[in-house]
Amino acid sequence: MKKNLFGISMITMACLYGILVIVAIAVCFACGFPIIYALVGGIIVLLIQFALSPILTDLTMRWLYQADFNCDMPAYLKEFIQGICNEHNMKYPRIGYIQDGAPNAFTYGHTKNNARIVLTKGIFDLLSEDEVKAVVAHEMGHAVHYDMLFMTVAQLVPLILYAIYDTLTSNIDDDDNSKVAAVGYIAYVLYIICQYIILWLSRTREYYADSFSAEKLKNPNILASALVKIGYGLSATSTRVAKHSVAAKNALGIFDSRTSKSLIVTSYNNGEVSKENIKNAMKWEMWNIWAKWYELNSTHPLISRRLLALSNLSKQYGLEPYIEFDLKREESFVDDFIVELIIKYLPLLAVFVSLGLFIFFEINNLSMTLAFGIWGLLVVLAALVPFKKARPNKNYKETTVSELLGEVKVSGVRAIPCVIEGEIIGRGNPGCILNEDFVIRDNTGIVFLDYNQPLFIVNKLFAIFKSQEYFGKKVTIKGWYRRSPVPYIEVYTMTVDGKVKKCFTYGFISFLYLLFMMISILLIFIGLYE
């Protein structure tokens, strides 16, 4: 299997760097530069990135995540790790520990001989000893397979292609630059293609890391159980969440690094997980069309696909599959997807319509004040539709994590108003002192809470000075449950110790929409009488 992965990796690298060489040659011909300049420049960038990335990640781990690399690990885990090291002729990895209740694990470094594996407190709190071994084995699989090396080298290609696009299209002043600009736009298209190639390669390597873990434990079901307990349905999230994620840049996590903070346990009680509730929770991934789109844009496969692969692998070990996927689709969700897709991109459509409006008004020498007024009204109304759809301000229903996970008709656009009670167990991004989000646990599971204030600085000040006060507190959360595909609750209000804290300023934002709408209407009236 390792040989198959190496072959896949080399073919992928050949494709990526073949694309880069072709673009480099085109740039040299278009700009008149010797080809050697492009090649030398690319090599220098690669060497710098390769040399510095683990060092920078080390610093980030210590400063932002307060990771302890001198913490003593349990004897059973040290013995297990040493056994893998002996078998694969690798040095014992540096083990980092983050004091955070949200379970997470990831690895980074250059090669298998300087790998760092970081584990959170939640991993040890939530998982059995064998499940901890399975998670660590998955991370060591990344090191043994040289995933850090291959992904670092692969990611250089889109970086260079984007730099070429940005450089060649920044000064398009005359016809003489048309050939150069054309090469730049071609580089941008190839940049997007290469990004998807790398995402596919990353998802493929996750399957191999899962298989490595199954091999070391001689039981794929152990990792399957750990995956369910750590986080269900983690594959993509917003830019705001990914901003402070170390793993998003340099590390390979047990889940998509951008979603490692959205943690779900379905009906978890005293180490046991309800299989029926897992199936119920997986309906969204199996039926909702948004799930397929999000996986395409993720570094990790959907957890349902990983569980299916592990369940099929268990048969090779003569074991009963961890879970059988026998759910049948009861209805089509295509119509819901199309409607939500239109709603999601209404603001963008309004912008394009407005551009045409400005061109029309300028050609016909009409009032630009009127044009600005119509433009503002179009954009505000278009933005107001997804805002109201994603945050319905009525019918807040008391529910549980398990019940929310069974909802299929939910997405980043369509939200479900809810009220949930539980205990805050850690930060959304485990250990990161700049992360203002939370993880809440009720008696059926744990889920990510999206804490959001209008001003960025307010979020960060809360994260640094106030967020720890809520750890271990019993809270009541009122907000909107969504999946993108991360299952999470955007917090409207948070009640703790009898006090209600308004986290999302719904009224203030609604007021801003109204204000801009009135300004736009005023501009329209002024434009009509100019």
173-208 burial, b at 16+ Cβ within 10 Å, e below that, comes to: eeeebeebbebbebbbebbeebbebbbebbbbbbbb
Q: 438 near 451, Cβ under 8 Å?
A: yes
| Whole-number Cα distances in Å, 129 to 67, 106, 358, 464 | 22, 18, 65, 33
Distances (CA, A) of 303 to 107, 163, 203, 284, 458: 19, 34, 11, 11, 34
- Active-site residue, 331 included: no
On whether the CB atoms of residues 309 and 298 are closer than 8 A, the answer is no
What are the residues whose beta carbons fall under 8 Å from the beta carbon of 383, sequence distance 6 or more? 346, 347, 350, 513
Strands 487-496 and 474-483: antiparallel
Q: Report the alpha-carbon distance of residue 78 to residue 92 in Å, rounded.
A: 9
CB 282 within 8 A of CB 323: no
Counting runs of H as helices and runs of E as strands, what totals does the chain give? Answer: 18, 13
Catalytic residue among 129, 131, 139, 407: 139
How far CA 28 is from CA of 19, 166, 332, in Å, comes to: 14, 16, 51
Q: What does each C-alpha distance from 284 to 280, 290, 291, 302, 333 come to in angstroms? A: 8, 9, 7, 11, 10
Amino acid identity of 477?
A: I
Interacting residues of 400 by C-beta distance below 8 A, sequence separation 6+: 420, 442, 443, 444, 445
Residues forming beta bridges with residue 496, ordered by sequence position: 475, 499
Q: Measuring CA to CA, which residue among 157, 241, 254 is closest to residue 209?
A: 254
Q: What is the DSSP string of 216-243?
A: HHT-HHHHHHHHHHH-SS-S---HHHHT
- Give the number of other CB atoms < 10 A from CB of residue 275: 14
**Cβ atoms of 255 and 209 closer than 8 Å:** no
Which of 114, 144, 125, 160 is CA-nearest to residue 205? 144
Q: Which contacts of 185-190 are long-range, i.e. CB under 8 A and separated by 24 or more positions?
A: 186/23, 186/26, 187/23, 187/27, 187/161, 187/162, 188/161, 188/162, 190/19, 190/23, 190/161
**Cβ within 8 Å of residue 233, ≥6 positions away:** 262, 264, 281, 282, 284, 285, 291, 302, 303, 304, 405, 483, 485, 486, 487
Beta strands in 266-342 (DSSP E): 268-269, 272-273
- The catalytic residues are 139
